[in-house]
Structure formats: structure tokens, C-alpha cells
Amino acid sequence: MSDPHKDAKDELRRHLQAGREALVATLEGIGDGQAGRPVAGSATSLLGLARQMAAMEAGYLGQVFDNPYPDDLPWWDGESEPDGRSAAGDDSVDSVVALYRRVWAHCDETADVLGLGAPGRVTWWPADRAEVNLHQVLVLLVAATQHAAGQAQVARATSLGAGDSGRP
């Protein structure tokens, strides 16, 4: 008989990985300038969305569970809500995708060793909500990653023209 907690964790992680891959797919086949250009009258760019998700994962699956991502993320201070959407810089598609993949590998290692009930603390949330567990964080990240992937598809279609589905 299978372990329902392991099955649930595996399912959440499959959905998280699907969102990650969908987000990265929106960056394939476009130039650095286009990927870094804000779209739809906002400060958000395709690269910014990928930076945002790298910062969120580093925060929520790293710092919250006392396993901080070891490298510097210059657009996240580690103290506040993770963000990277409007960060300026010389980031290339290749460098941001490589960073995001390193972050998600680190985060997967964290999730591998924790059970769904493993406690964590979100220091940038109000104290009355700061205590969380891995299950809550995985649900949050699945939703955020799928949302970012959808935003990226719209942003790509908008920046390339209405005829592009957002897929490479």
C-alpha cells in the first residue's frame, strides 16, 4: 500500500515542476533584449518573472526551512517578500534560466528530505501567520509558479504579437 503523504508530496512536486518548465519554455527562442523588456505597461518582463520565481523558491523552500540558497540573488534581500520582476541588470535568458534551474535543484533537495508536515517560518509574513509547513509552502509555490507561467505566456504573446501562442 502506498504512503498517502508521499503520494501527495509527489503530486505537488509534479505540478511545481510542470509550472517551472512552462515558465522556462516561454523564454526559449527569444533574445535577451526582448525577454528583458517590460510588457503590457508594467515593469514585468519574461526575465523578471523567472527571477521572481527563483527568488520565491529560494525564500520559501530555502530560507523558510533553514536551508538558504547559497548564492547571492542580487534582486532579493532575503528579508522581505521575494521579488525580482522589475529588477534591472545585464541578465541574459541563458543566465536567468541557469540560475532558476540551480535554485529549483537546491529547493528540490530541501523538499526531498522533509515530510509534508515539516515546520517552517516565513519571517516576512505577519507573526500570526508565519508558522507554516512544507505542504502549505508547496501549495503556495505550485499556485505562484503556474500563475507566473500563465503571465509569461501572455507577456510573450503580447511582446511577439497576437499570432504567437507564447510557446516557442
Domain boundaries in the chain? Answer: 4-160
Closest CA to 145 of 76, 57, 80: 57
**The residue type at 113:** V
pLDDT at 35: 86
With 0.95 as the threshold, say if the pTM is over it: no
* Residue corresponding to grid cell 509547513: 133
pLDDT at 168: 42
User: Per residue in 89-145, pLDDT tens?
Assistant: 678 899 999 999 999 999 999 999 999 999 999 999 999 999 999 999 999 999 999
User: Per residue in 8-54, pLDDT tens?
Assistant: 999 999 999 999 999 999 999 988 888 887 776 677 788 889 999 99
Domain 4-160 in CATH: superfamily? dinb family like domain (1.20.120.450)
Q: Which grid cell is 40?
A: 503590457
